[in-house]
Structure 1
Amino acid sequence: MSQPTSVTEWLMAVGLVGYAACFAQNDVDVSVLPHLTDLDLKEIGVASLGHRRRLLAGIAELPRADARPGPKPQTEAERRHLSIMFCDLVGSTALSTRLDVEDLRAVVTAYHKCCAEAIEREGGFVAKYMGDGVLAYFGYPLASEHDAERAVRAGLALVEAVPLLDTSAGAPLGVRVGIATGLVVVGDLLGTGAAKEQAVVGETPNLAARLQALASPGAVVIASGTRDLTGGLFEYRDLGTVALKGFDREVRTWQVLGSDATESRFEALRAAGTPLVGRDDETSLLLRRWEQAKAGEGHVVLLSGEAGVGKSRMTQVLLERSARESHARLRYFCSPHHQDSALHPLIAQLNHAAGIRRADADAARLAKLEAVIAQATDSPGEALPLLADLLGIPPGDRHSVIDLPPPMRKARTLEAPLTLIEGLATRRPVLMIFEDVHWSDPTTRALLDLLVDRLTALRVLLVVTFRPEFAPPWRDRPHVDLIGLGRLPPDQCAAIISHLTGGRVLPREIAGQILDRTDGVPLFVEELTKTVLESGLVRKAGNNAYLATAFVGRTAIPETLLASLLARLDRMPETRDLAQLGAALGRQFSYELIAAVAELPPPLLERSLERLESAELIFRRGVPPDAEYTFKHALVQDAAYGTMLREKRQRLHARIAATLESDFPEIRARQPETLARHCADAGQTEKAAELYIAASVRATAATNNVEATAHLKRAMALVKTLPLRAPRTTELRNRIMTSGWWWWSA
């Protein structure tokens, strides 16, 4: 549909021009149309459900005035962590024998359209149509921390939507869906820049294809990697381990039965068990406010902190500490998928509290809602029909339909849950937790505005969690406390590590690497420690320690963190290359060095660095050209670095090494190991070994024997990769033995 010049013109196009006066009275013009929701349409007077659906369908076809071109797939191949879906139409061969070819084409076209809509609605990328099969990527070209979840939701939507397609097939269509998650290489695999498909290479697409073939009609089957990332967000049936063609091991598989298996995203995605460390003062304040609330002095506590710092863990502790007390507990969870769904947290909470299921009949759903409301009041009044309408439940014969002008209806709808909270608070104390308010919809925030002002005289404690980018408008109220959760010091991070190892001591170099790379973020400490314990890098030695099983290099980034960090880089595609260059330079780098290597015009370079800085991916100290930059987190650096293929990394390190030698000669003289690292990563093995020997000599001269030994070990590791009898290899080996005879003889 082309852009209409007026709302009346658009209403004529969708055949509902009779509502022109309603739209005009509510100041809805063309620019507002794309933002209207079903609730908005109710408010302006569109009472008919069928008419609202027609209007919403017409809105969906409008070109967005503020729309920007979507991200284009990268032409250069890169390493990505993807969730890959294979979807296959059931019985297509039988269809081809029954239908005329034109009818068959119409069926397949309708099926493809349905697949594309379901996949794209969840943020997926349709990579290829293969007859009656569809291949989709989640996490490319833009990554998200929820890619695995989105893939599963898309799969569930497909197995539900495809059988409902109106086709000439004569019988309902069916699909099989297989989903796997893992590391792949994606992009132009030929390296020509002329590829028309964004192909993937790796085990993951093959696994997804095998799982699709394994699935029964109407089933979504996933691998363990996807199951681990989606946690308890869905209901599953364990299919056990199966032997799949082309795989040298049996694979654990699961069928996804449905969603909403748990109330909390935190509980669903993460298992509790790691103790809360280093939050004694914050916990004490929370518990004091809870005591005051129980005594009739309502309070609000705002918990702010970056992802992984422990906001949800703190609310969990509060719930655990109050578990034995008589009180009402209300928990609301905002979702990144429902930021435009009015009152989604309230609707989800009511459905959960009432135990309402999709299969329930209207009468059963209404009875369950009545039971929940009866816990707060014996006189539900208009709260029941308003909340029933919010949940899409007909009010039944015993309750009258509330007929109010739209603005008043919205006000009364917002008042209804407040009435229940007030009623609950007269019967027992109420502990309310609103999680992840940075993902809340505007109507939910309006409800919170009313609630915060209302609860001062109620036996209510409201805890609101959010990330720092959200600015709560309530923080200046006298009954509101703001707690900013910072990162933990090394000793407290070490306590988390000790808990996860069962008190066993990790090798010092491994524990030090975990502490260095996690920068005090409890979630990162936990995930990296688990990765080390599960990776085979260490083995138990007695009851008190772990021993390293091999030389410890860079440990893998946990998948759950990698997806989150990649999402941040993907949101700034124009600065990705600069972030990758910075990551190759190291955790810290100077403006002068990155300017020399990047070869960008100074204005463009500074703008790109400012973007990375404003996104808090890097921190700056000083002013260009004297500025120094640091990646906010070592895992951010690793995420940027890990997206590059080996060939690109080598080219980049070669460029860095050449720039250091030509423009920064003091580096070779004072820090030969720095130049050695870049030469080694560039594949310049002989030169790197020579530089590590020079670094060892320099360290020995300064009696830094531990460092000298480390440099010689790196040099020898490189020499061992060279042709054994080559003269240059012999020369370097002799120099190592001569320079480090005290180490080599040991």
Structure 2
Amino acid sequence: MHAEEPGAVGSSKEARKHVTIVFADIVGSTRLVAGLDPEDARHFLTRSIEALTPAIEAAGGVVAKIMGDGMFCVFGAPLALEDHAYRACYAAMDLLSLADRLVAPNGSPVQLRVGLSSGTAVVNVTEGNGRVNLDAMGEVVNNAAHLEAAAAPGTVLISDATRHLAGYAIDARKLEEKGGFQLISVGTNPQDILLENASVQLPFIGREREMNFFTAAVGQLSEGGGDIISVLGGAGLGKTRLLLEFSRQLQPTNIRIVLASSRSLDQSDPNALLRRLVLALLMIDPKDQSKLAQIIAERLVQLDEGLAGHVDDVNWLLLSDSEEMDPQKVEQRRISALTALKRVLTTLAAQGPLIIAIDNFQWSDASSRNFLKAAVGMVDTEPLLLILFAREDMADFRPIVRQVLQLRPLDRATSAQLLLKQLADTGVSKSVVERVLDRAEGNPRFLTEFARHLAERGEPDDGRDTADEIIVPDSIADLFEERIDRLPEGARHLLQVGAAFEQPASLETLCALTDKSEDEMKSLLAVVIDSGMVRETGFLPRILYTFVNPVVGEAAYRSLLHPKRRRLHQKIYAFLEAGYYGRGRHSMMGRQALRAGLFEQAAQAYFEAGRRAGARLAYAESIDMLCEALQAETRVPTRTAEIDRLAIDIRLTLREGLFAKSRFQDIETRLNEAQAICDRIGDAKRSLLVRRHLIGNAVAQGQLADALTRIDILITDNRCLGEHREVAELQFLQAQILAVLGRFEEAFFSARTVMEAFQTQAGSPHELSPVTYALARMWLIWCAAELGRFEEVKFEVLDCQNDLAHDRPPFFRILSGIATGLFWLRFGHTELAAETLQSVLSLTKEDENHAWFHSVASPLGLALIRMNRAEEALPLLQQAVAMESSGGGSRGTQAVHLAACWAALGDTRKGEDQARVAVARARQNGNQGVLAYALHTLGAVLNQTGQHKAAQACLSEALDIAENCKMRPLTEQISKDMAGGSS
């Protein structure tokens, strides 16, 4: 294809394209035509370029421009080419061969300089009069021109990107001084491997232990019994590959294995996994949606005629989404269906050993899990083996699972073996292999991705970190883009819309976003589904459409120019705002608005998403959404009072999530930003709220100097404004500070006031958050325990015991465990205290709750000491002391309890040293309650070492402080010790 003649009229289109640009120039053309008539010179150059053109067109390129003695060519436009870099290299070498046949009028040989570069360009295509005119702009064009100018006569210089894309098909030598690679030769085009097909080509090694484990479990089936196994491992560790290899191993046997898998959207789709499992058990192809109910009915009756009466209920459970039924009837139908499905399992197991293997079980829906839990009793009497593959332990299945197989990363030797098998004949150096092994950390999927990257792009030799470059190789995206470009325009646009939408979409959604009728959309969907790029997911009547691979969306989206992207995202945002409902709506709106350049709308949407996530205690999600809101808010070009108020509210709401994760330094940064905005716009009301949170953050970090005074001022200011919620929140902070200072009675009544406010303000605009209530309750019970006022908090203790149930969020269970654990310690029920605290200790190992570890471990350690289990207490208390500075509900008693532990273990020197450290810290912080405990412990240790006079002095001071703080249980204990009683 040539450039169009001047004056031709045609339609013009622009798009971003991943292309390879070729510049070729006749070397010394001025010398070659010296002394010729101008017409003869022009004829020679034109004839030469025409002789070279077939090399470009035969390889699939386009001659975009002829520039006297040179040509500018594009590979990968107007239609994308999956191997445009290889084609361009092939054409470049062909150009050199053709040039060798040319002779200048003066008899001199003709030589070319050729330069190639690959990358993204903005390509303009004008069609008219049956011709195509093409132009390209971008850094890739400049790079190609630079390489052409730098090439030696009769050579081809290519860019690093071109070399990587062409891969094994070419031989190139790096020329440092030229800034590129000299193309030496071009071979045959290597076979492309799609990501989704690559795993079947890879070796399966390093899993002998796991396969032996399965073999032993299968052996039990022959004895008539079954088992329930949980296979746990993080993403990419090879759970799915292990499942496939295990199923292949069973193919020659008479054991039937049924495979099913959960998906990430299953948790919001009741019975999704069960539906898939039943279809697999009955050997039904789910693609024929129109006859699915009929086929299920036929297969059930064929399996067991006694199931005929349950057919309608089974189909209702698996295929219907109706909720408008009498609750009693719903329950009856559910029981009928589940009874029938259990009978299906029993019948199939009676026919022969049966294995059910479920992949990605961590995404399973609650309804399906409930059925499996109800059916697992069969394994005791039937040859049924249930294997659950999941990324993490499922709490509700923990008591049911009989065996757990933890899938570990591959060891380094096995990792190297796997990597080197995939890198055979690539010549990758040992140093690069070692770097990949370090970064992959034994994860088979990571190893595979690195290997593919190195195999396609070769070993980097310019100091780059290969681990940072293995996301999606351009060669894979190019493959999909070529297929996309060959679809009808309407189908291409549909893929671009789907890529911009970023979620599986329904038929109605796609119609709304493309302004197409249902019939038109169904036709377009048929095209993209037949092309293998989109698939249906879900079940009737809720069918969704999604990409078969995320790379499809990336390839479709990357061709859009930025203005078109913004317009598309604006349309999607308007659609979401107008009538799209469902969980995640506001976060979707935020992302779409942000990508559309609607920064204020993005900030508002992300703020709402973060607020809602915080309301359901999903603090990690809330923090992510609110941080996105911050990013959007700072990009709003024109500041208004409304956006400034939103900026403050974002930071105030973010504080709640950060507090739950004990990120106090981040809280201070955001609150100071909010205070600066309040001062700038004169928002006194919000300023009061910011000031209150700043005080709370200071309290959490132990900065108590003037906190009480500042709180008193704020309480007065908020009462004047009628801000009852803020008054209660401030009273809670007041209770915290009073307790730390040893004024337990005052703190007790402040915490009680907060809890009463929670009840009285429920449902009003001044309603307190559940987090505030739970924290106030914890401090109330602690103060009561220190004061010995057990009867006054018995109902709150019972409330805490209820919150220890597994259906409560971990944060609330931790607070309840701390409160009741401390209470039982003071009340003398040491074993109950240990049991309670032990039950919540594991919850603090989760990242977002880890800051509470020391607040649980410290009293637990004390309980263990009193139970003569100091050896178990020591590591807990050592870790608690190491974490003490992080806050998170700490009372500073960790060092005190560690001192007692050392003493209980007989190491009185360490016990004395640790106790003196605890005394010094408590004096420095003004923490009278902890000081009383520290002095009491120091006195006990000194008594052990015979330093009775010093011990009595410590105990006497401890008694005075305890009496002054009205710490009745501690006062009684110290009195006994001073009188010679046991500690």
Report the TM-score, using the length of structure 1 for normalisation: 0.51
Give a deviation string over 1:326-370, Cα, whole Å, max 9, x none. xxxxxxxxxxxxxxxxxxxxxxxxxxxxxxxxxxxxxxxxxxxxx
**1:259 matches 2:186:** yes
Q: Offset of 1:216 from its aligned partner?
A: 2.0
- Out of 595, 600, 604, the residue aligned to residue 686 of structure 1 is 600
Q: Offset of 1:144 from its aligned partner?
A: 2.1
Matched to 1:569, the amino acid is: I
How many angstroms apart in 2 are the aligned matches of 1:622 and 1:267?
31
Q: Is the 8 A contact 2:164 2:456 kept in 1?
A: no
How many angstroms apart in 2 are the aligned matches of 1:530 and 1:717?
36
Q: Which residue of 2 aligns with 1:112?
A: 49
- Out of 88, 95, 112, the residue aligned to residue 25 of structure 2 is 88
Q: Which residue of 1 aligns with 2:118?
A: 181
Percent of residue pairs bearing the same amino acid type:
29
Q: Which residue of 1 aligns with 2:619?
A: 705
How many angstroms apart in 2 are the aligned matches of 1:281 and 1:729?
56
How many angstroms apart in 2 are the aligned matches of 1:74 and 1:622?
41
Aligned-partner SS, 1:170: coil
Matched to 2:575, the amino acid is: T
How many angstroms apart in 2 are the aligned matches of 1:493 and 1:608?
45
- Out of 191, 205, 212, the residue aligned to residue 141 of structure 2 is 205
How many angstroms apart in 2 are the aligned matches of 1:205 and 1:74?
23
How many angstroms apart in 1 are the aligned matches of 2:615 and 2:139?
49
- Out of 549, 573, 597, the residue aligned to residue 513 of structure 2 is 597
How many angstroms apart in 2 are the aligned matches of 1:557 and 1:647?
25
**1:639 matches 2:584:** no
Higher relative contact order (CA 8 A, sep 6+): 1
How many angstroms apart in 1 are the aligned matches of 2:206 and 2:471?
34
Q: Is the 8 A contact 2:96 2:112 kept in 1?
A: yes
Matched to 2:144, the amino acid is: A
Matched to 1:119, the amino acid is: I
Structure 2 stretches of 5 or more lacking a match? 1-8, 209-388, 392-405, 420-432, 659-665, 669-983
How many angstroms apart in 2 are the aligned matches of 1:625 and 1:112?
61
Q: Offset of 1:583 from its aligned partner?
A: 0.6
How many angstroms apart in 1 are the aligned matches of 2:52 and 2:74?
13
Q: Offset of 1:169 from its aligned partner?
A: 5.0
Q: Is the 8 A contact 2:62 2:74 kept in 1?
A: yes
Aligned in 2, Cα 1:493/1:214: closer, same or farther, shift over 3 Å?
Answer: farther
Q: Is the 8 A contact 2:124 2:135 kept in 1?
A: yes
Q: Is the 8 A contact 1:79 1:643 kept in 2?
A: yes
Q: Offset of 1:670 from its aligned partner?
A: 6.1
Q: Which runs of 4+ in 1 moved over 4 A?
A: 166-169, 266-270, 274-278, 280-283, 488-508, 521-526, 528-531, 622-626
Matched to 1:279, the amino acid is: F
Aligned-partner SS, 1:86: strand
Q: Is the 8 A contact 2:115 2:147 kept in 1?
A: yes
Aligned in 2, Cα 1:720/1:539: closer, same or farther, shift over 3 Å?
Answer: farther
Q: Is the 8 A contact 2:123 2:135 kept in 1?
A: yes
Aligned in 2, Cα 1:282/1:704: closer, same or farther, shift over 3 Å?
Answer: closer
- Out of 80, 92, 101, the residue aligned to residue 155 of structure 1 is 92
Aligned in 2, Cα 1:646/1:489: closer, same or farther, shift over 3 Å?
Answer: farther
Q: Judging by fraction of residues, say which structure has more helix.
A: 2
Task: Count the aligned residue pairs.
Answer: 429
Q: Is the 8 A contact 1:617 1:631 kept in 2?
A: yes
Give a deviation string over 1:210-261, Cα, whole Å, max 9, x none. 111112222111122212222343333432244xxxxxxxx3x22223334x
Q: Which residue of 2 aligns with 1:563?
A: 478
After TM superposition, the structure 1 = structure 2 runs for residues 434-449 of structure 1, keeping only pairs within 5 Å, are none
How many angstroms apart in 1 are the aligned matches of 2:44 and 2:484?
40
Structure 1 stretches of 5 or more lacking a match? 1-71, 190-194, 243-250, 284-487, 541-545, 549-553
How many angstroms apart in 1 are the aligned matches of 2:570 and 2:646?
21
- Out of 560, 571, 575, the residue aligned to residue 655 of structure 1 is 571
Q: Offset of 1:725 from its aligned partner?
A: 5.5
- Which structure has the bigger radius of gyration? 2
Q: Offset of 1:201 from its aligned partner?
A: 2.1
Q: Offset of 1:684 from its aligned partner?
A: 1.0
Q: Is the 8 A contact 1:178 1:211 kept in 2?
A: yes
Matched to 1:230, the amino acid is: A
Q: Offset of 1:686 from its aligned partner?
A: 0.8
Aligned-partner SS, 1:745: helix
Q: Is the 8 A contact 1:696 1:708 kept in 2?
A: yes
How many angstroms apart in 1 are the aligned matches of 2:611 and 2:27?
69
How many angstroms apart in 2 are the aligned matches of 1:493 and 1:675?
39
How many angstroms apart in 2 are the aligned matches of 1:713 and 1:528?
36
Q: Is the 8 A contact 1:588 1:630 kept in 2?
A: yes
Aligned-partner SS, 2:78: coil
How many angstroms apart in 2 are the aligned matches of 1:724 and 1:214?
48
Q: Offset of 1:90 from its aligned partner?
A: 1.9
Q: Is the 8 A contact 2:537 2:545 kept in 1?
A: yes
After TM superposition, the structure 1 = structure 2 runs for residues 137-536 of structure 1, keeping only pairs within 5 Å, are 137-165=74-102, 168=105, 170-187=107-124, 197-242=133-178, 251=179, 253-260=180-187, 265=190, 279=204, 502-504=436-438, 522=448, 526-527=452-453
How many angstroms apart in 2 are the aligned matches of 1:112 and 1:583?
42
Q: Is the 8 A contact 1:587 1:631 kept in 2?
A: no
Matched to 1:687, the amino acid is: Q
How many angstroms apart in 2 are the aligned matches of 1:706 and 1:539?
30
Aligned in 2, Cα 1:167/1:573: closer, same or farther, shift over 3 Å?
Answer: farther
Aligned-partner SS, 1:578: helix
Aligned in 2, Cα 1:241/1:92: closer, same or farther, shift over 3 Å?
Answer: closer
**1:131 matches 2:59:** no
Q: Offset of 1:277 from its aligned partner?
A: 5.0
Aligned-partner SS, 1:732: helix
- Out of 581, 587, 610, the residue aligned to residue 696 of structure 1 is 610
Aligned in 2, Cα 1:228/1:105: closer, same or farther, shift over 3 Å?
Answer: same
Q: Which residue of 1 aligns with 2:881?
A: none
Q: Is the 8 A contact 1:597 1:656 kept in 2?
A: yes
Q: Is the 8 A contact 2:165 2:456 kept in 1?
A: no
Q: Offset of 1:646 from its aligned partner?
A: 1.6
Matched to 2:164, the amino acid is: D
Q: Offset of 1:77 from its aligned partner?
A: 2.2
Matched to 1:681, the amino acid is: R
Give a deviation string over 1:698-734, Cα, whole Å, max 9, x none. 1111111111111111101111223586423321111
How many angstroms apart in 1 are the aligned matches of 2:626 and 2:191?
47
Q: Is the 8 A contact 2:24 2:113 kept in 1?
A: yes
How many angstroms apart in 1 are the aligned matches of 2:451 and 2:604?
36
Give a deviation string over 1:606-630, Cα, whole Å, max 9, x none. 2221111111101013689853111
Q: Offset of 1:209 from its aligned partner?
A: 0.9
How many angstroms apart in 1 are the aligned matches of 2:615 and 2:551?
35
Aligned-partner SS, 1:639: helix
How many angstroms apart in 2 are the aligned matches of 1:164 and 1:685?
61
How many angstroms apart in 2 are the aligned matches of 1:642 and 1:678?
16
Aligned in 2, Cα 1:648/1:101: closer, same or farther, shift over 3 Å?
Answer: same
